[in-house]
Amino acid sequence: MIIVGYIFALIGIILFEIPTLILNKSWWEMAVFLGLTGFAFLLGLLMILQVNIPNPVYLINKTVEYFFDLVPI
Amino acid sequence: MFNYLAKKFNLVRLLRKQSTQNANGKKQSGLKISPHLKQNLETLKKTFKESNDFVIREFSFGSKEEPINVALVYIEGLVAKTSINDDIMKPLMYDSSFAGFINTYQPNDIIAFIDERLLSMADSIKVSNLEEVVEGCLDGHTILLVEGETQALSISNQGWERRSISEPQGEVVVRGPREGFTETLRINTSLLRRKIHNPDLVLEMLKVGQKTRTNVCIAYIAGIADDGVVQEVKNRIEDIKTDAILESGYIEQFIEDAPFSPFATIGNSEKPDVVAAKLLEGRVAILVDGSPVVLTVPFLFIEGFQSAEDYYSRPYYSSLVRILRYMGFLFSLYGPGFFVAVVAFHQELIPDALIITISSAMEGTPFPVALEAIGMGIVFEILREAGVRLPKAVGQSVSIVGALVLGDAVVSAGFVSSTMVIVVAFTAIASFVVTSHSDAESIIRFVMTLLGSALGLFGITIGTIGILIHLSALRSFGSPYLSPLAPISWLDLKDTFLRFPLWAMITRPKTIGWNNYQRESLDLIPKPPQKKKDK
Amino acid sequence: MKLEGGKIPANQLVFLIIGFIYGTVVIINPGRAAGNDAWLAFIVSMLVGLCFAAIYVILAQRFQTKNLLEINDLVFGPYLGKLISLVYLWYFFHLGAIVLRNFGDFLAGIIFPETPISVFLITMVLICASAVRNGIEVIGRTSIILTIITTIILVLTSLLSIPLMDFNNLLPILQTTKLKEFLTTVLISATFPFGETVVFLMIFSTVNNPKKLKLTTLIAFLFGGGLLLIQAIRNIAVLGTLMDIYTYPSYTAVRAVNIFEVITRIEILVVINFLTMGFIKVTVLYYAVSLGTAQLLKLKSYLPVVLPIGILMICLSLLQFESSFENSYFTYTIYPFYALPFQIFLPLLTLLVAIIRGKKGVPG
């Protein structure tokens, strides 16, 4: 159910952006748009399906904590 | 989908074909007036397709041996008959026989002779084109054609039935002039002239509408109005290629900046004093023949909250009224939405004493509160529409039946809670406070109700931010729509939430009339007369 | 070709910065560790923040009409510059996601316990996207009205809570907190609202009159800091030592207001403040990321990347914390040290390299 709504939202976004891009013949913009949207869509889909995605914040936490240990305040 | 596209493509092709045809047809006109009177009259008759209000009156005057054959051409009902009788025909047929004038004229300038010596009409011009003749007739001129001449006289003696100047129904004032614009363009321009006795008031005529050829007048004050805005208005009006302009609303919809916005970006008024005040602030007015509603641009959001009477009465009360107007506007936007949001999501916001009343009123009503609000909103809009369109006597009874009987019955039957009726009724009254934004108001009210019922106050805040974004993105003829508020200009706040005293409104609005910004001298504040010390 | 054609007057920048500074601080209290000395910590951190801002303004004025990415390109050369720009963009993007998450956590946790958090994130991103697509002019104009409304609400709620206040709570000064805690608070609140103004390096270049930048920023910082101060004093005076145990002290403080049993439970006003100010903050960050991405990829317009970046932002803000506890751990412990490089080291480095290499923006 959520996935269907999600796909509809995606189609909505694409229909919203593509016509102006085609009219202006900006193909590079279109490629970037489709690439970014595709990536975002994939990420969102994986999150809806509850697949484990590496969390960048853990990395940040670990790094900063490493420095904490290095420099005892 | 493809079918639809194909159809659309066909339509475009069809339109293109039509427009080339029209262009071909246009070229045939532009005939010169021929020296043969009969031929001219035949052409004119053909042009008017033998319509029975098109009148040709042929007669001759002068000596019996060399009579001068002339013809008067006019459209019945558009001209003043008495003036034709007394001021055109009588001088020609009767006065000319005196004083042996017949011997003095030269055969090649009869027209000039008639124009200069005989005709006792103030306004006449020479035309040399049949197209101009036709146009003159349609404007209500009387055309005098003379045998043997390639020119004709277009005499302006319009006289049709017109509504007299009366108080506009839509903008009633307690204090201030009562006169309003009428349907006749000339009268309207004269009303403006009578307010502004200054040659700087420029009135420029344009003809718009390929079929109706409606006269449109652009009025502005040279030196105050921004030249760019005037040029922009002219360009946009000239670009209108349409059949008909029947009301100034047609022009409005063709030239407005934001056709998809619920907010109007062009102001209108039926009162000459209001339009004159706007002209004096540097705005441009557009008067359309056949419409008592005059458009003014640029139109800012806050203009909807200003009323002519604010400036006529003293500042304290005007400021109070203006603040009340803002409150009424806000209430009519948020009333039902806020109520629904509070009842559905944030009951804790209601004071304890009130919640018992509200919940006891709510008890037993079958519908969810959001549905109640939207339903009652629709009922109200229907009642209003019915009341407006019906004749006055019936309209009043409709509103009485609607408001009193229906409202009471709905509550006592337990369909709708009485609190909801109170909220909707008050919202309805509040929405009449600011009339220029009333159509946007009712749309936004429904949206807010939906948002409030779905997401509570979060939804309403988000909706408000959305409206703000939309409003700040709007422009009206180059001026930011939210102008004195955002982009903020401190000087113009004098006339926004409070109405400062007239002697303190030294400058014109910054985004509109800034190229001639000083409106009055600095020391106009009334002071008691200074007593001389040496007495 | 310029991606952003709009220009904002300096006075709009003031409101924009005020809104940005006041942003999430409406709800989240960066001065938690300092207890009742938080108000003092705010004053100190505002001064520290002003030092940060001085670097940004000097940088912006040195390179007149260039924005952050163009400055990077100029100073570090095209390749290293791009890399540094990317790092900045990540920070803006992540910060946007954090602010969004704070939103979601607050709304879904306190106000609407039954609604999933993603509803709020999506709505918020949609409305921000519409603002971003309209360009900086519209963002600036919107910020004026929202900031004024917010200021009025803050003053109003503060006045209404005067009966609850006990100003003795502000005392004793610097007795209960240790110096270390105090300094930590200064660091947190210097990086949390004030240092984040580094994002305005993307916006300074669109200001009409670059000469006014110094004064503008100073006024904005003083005013924004003033708002924080009013709020901190209100919260401390109302809640006293209890303040540090609440996650959302403003909300709790205003909640207690009760004037004659008529004006009660006005905490919804705080929520409205949070929404409007958070909107400004997210929008500014979102705008910077969109513009920066388009600039980095040499697009002709930044409009096509707005919506995809919005989706990514929602994804990241959902992904980054499992719960609101992780969020507050990150905000109070990790974030100041994570943000420092972006807020101070990189701009300072840019400035130094620019001075050493003698790079300057050509006016016009």
Can you tell me the ipTM of this complex? 0.92
For residues C288-306, give the mean pLDDT.
91
Interface residues on A facing C, Cβ-Cβ cutoff 8 A: 13, 16-17, 20-21, 24, 26, 28-30, 32-33, 36-37, 39-41, 43-44, 47, 53, 55-57, 60-61, 64-65, 67-68, 73
Domain span at residue C34? 10-347
Q: What is the pLDDT of residues C240-250, one digit of tens each?
A: 777 777 778 88
Per-residue pLDDT, averaged over B424-430, amounts to 88
* Residue B27 confidence (pLDDT): 46
Contact C248, C110 (CB under 8 A): yes
Residue with the bigger pLDDT between C26 and B227: it is B227
Q: What is the pLDDT of residues B74-87, one digit of tens each?
A: 998 888 888 888 88
Q: Report the pLDDT value the prediction gives residue B465, as an integer from 0 to 100.
A: 93
**Per-residue model confidence (pLDDT) at position B103:** 58
Per-residue pLDDT at C1: 43
Cα atoms in the Cβ-side hemisphere of radius 13 Å centred on C270: 30
DSSP string covering B102-135 = GGT--GGGHHHHIIIII---S-EEEE-BHHHHHH
What is the model's pLDDT at position B174? 86
CA C198 to chain centre: 10
For residue B189, pLDDT beyond 90: yes
The number of distinct structural domains making up chain A is 1
pLDDT, one tens digit per residue, over C154-193 is: 898 888 888 888 888 777 776 666 777 788 888 888 888 8
Residue A60 is part of which domain span?
2-70
Average pLDDT of chain C? 86
pLDDT in tens, B451-476: 999 888 889 999 999 999 999 999 99
CA atoms of C261 and B353, how far apart (whole Å): 9
Pairing of strands B479-480, B141-146: unpaired
Of B62-71, C4-13, C199-208, the poorest mean pLDDT is in B62-71
Q: Report the neighbours of C using a cutoff of 3 or more CB pairs below 8 angstroms.
A: A, B
- Copy the structure tokens of residue C350: 């840019």
Tell me what the pLDDT averaged over chain B comes to.
85
Q: Among B218, B212, B261, B211, which Cα is nearest to B236's?
A: B218
Min distance C343 CA to chain A CA atoms (Å): 16
Query: What average pLDDT does range B358-363 have in this prediction?
Result: 82
> In the predicted model, is pLDDT for residue B217 greater than 90?
yes
The answer to whether B372 touches B365, Cβ cutoff 8 Å, is: yes
Q: Where are the beta strands (DSSP E) in B354-427?
A: none
Q: Where is average pLDDT lowest: A42-51, B18-27, C202-211?
A: B18-27
Residue C5 lies in a domain: no
Kindly state whether residue C191 falls inside one of the protein's structural domains.
yes
B483: nearest CA in chain C? C141
- Per-residue pLDDT of B301-316, as tens digits, reads 999 899 888 899 889 9
pLDDT at C172: 73
pLDDT of residue B197: 92
CATH number of domain containing C230: 1.20.1740.10
| Residue B126: strand pairing partners | B153
Query: Which range (B167-171, C70-74, C96-100) has the least confidence?
Result: B167-171
Q: How confident is the model at residue C364 (pLDDT cuts 50, 70, 90)?
A: very low
Residue B490 CA to residue B318 CA, distance in Å, equals 20
| Joined tokens for residue C65 | 């009409």
Residue B505 has pLDDT above 50, yes or no: yes
The candidate with the shortest Cα–Cα distance to B438, out of B293, B264, B294, B296, is: B264
In the structure, do chain B and chain C come into contact, i.e. share 3 or more CB pairs under 8 Å?
Answer: yes
Helices H / strands E in chain B, number of each: 18, 12
- Count of domains forming chain C: 1
Mean pLDDT of C198-227: 88
The alpha-carbon gap from A57 to the nearest alpha carbon of chain C, in Å, equals 6
pLDDT value for B431: 87
Residue ranges in chain A modelled with pLDDT below 70: 72-73
CB contact under 8 A, C138 and B465: no
DSSP C211-274: GGHHHHHHHHHHHHHHHHHHHHHHHHHHHGGGGGG-SSHHHHHHHT-EETTTEE-THHHHHHHH
Q: ∠ CA C333-C339-C345 to the nearest 5 degrees?
A: 130
Say whether C275 and B345 touch across the interface (CB within 8 A). no
Q: Which of the residues A36, A48, A49, A62 would you substitute to probe the C interface, choosing the one with the greatest number of C C-beta atoms within 10 Å? A: A36
Least CB–CB distance from B469: residue in C112, C115, C130: C130
In this complex, do B351 and C142 lie within 8 Å of one another by their Cβ atoms? Answer: no
Percent of chain B with pLDDT over 70: 93
CB atoms within 10 A of CB C170: 18
* Distance of residue C331 Cα from the nearest chain B Cα, in angstroms: 24
Q: Is residue C1 part of a domain?
A: no
Q: Can you tell me the distance from the alpha carbon of C51 to that of C218, in angstroms, rounded to the nearest whole number?
A: 10
Residue B10: pLDDT band with limits 50, 70, 90:
confident
- CB of C9 within 8 Å of any CB in chain B? yes
Asked whether residue B28 carries a pLDDT value surpassing 70, the answer given is no
pLDDT in tens, C28-79: 777 777 777 778 888 888 888 898 889 988 888 888 778 888 888 888 888 8
Q: Which of C79-83, C92-96, C133-137, C256-260 bottoms out in mean pLDDT, i.e. has the lowest? A: C256-260
**Residue range C113-137: average pLDDT?**
90
pLDDT of residue B202: 93
Task: Give residue B104's pLDDT.
Answer: 60
Confidence label for B233 from pLDDT (cuts 50, 70 and 90):
very high
- Does C146 contact B488 at a Cβ distance shorter than 8 Å? no
Can you give the pLDDT at residue B287? 94
Residues B199-226 have a mean pLDDT of 91
- Any idea which of B122-126, B256-260, C26-30, C199-203 has the lowest mean pLDDT? C26-30
- Mean model confidence pLDDT for chain A: 85
pLDDT at B20: 64
Inter-chain CB proximity A41 and C180 less than 8 Å: no
The answer on pLDDT for B99 being more than 70 is no
Q: What is the mean predicted confidence (pLDDT) over B338-352?
A: 85
Look at residue B37 and tell me whether its pLDDT is greater than 80: yes
Q: What's the rounded mean pLDDT across residues B320-343?
A: 92
B205, B217 contact by CB (below 8 A): yes
For B190, B268, B277, B357, B392, the CA distances from B180, given in Å and listed in that order, are 12, 13, 14, 48, 20
Instruction: Give the dihedral of Cα atoms C208, C211, C217, C219; nearest 10 deg.
Output: -100
- In Å, what is the CA distance from B349 to each residue of B310, B343, B420, C110, C209? 36, 9, 17, 15, 45
Within a domain: C42: yes
Q: Which chains touch A (3 or more CB pairs under 8 A)?
A: C
Distance, in Å, from the CA atom of C233 to the CA atom of C310, rounded to the nearest integer, reads 36
* Cβ separation C131–B469 shorter than 8 A: yes
Helix axes B369-389, B315-344, angle to 10 degrees: 140
Nearest chain B residue to C110, by CA: B346
Distance CA C46, CA C230 (A): 13
**Chain A partners within 8 Å of C96 (Cβ):** none
Whether C62 is in a domain gets the answer yes
Residue B107: what pLDDT? 59
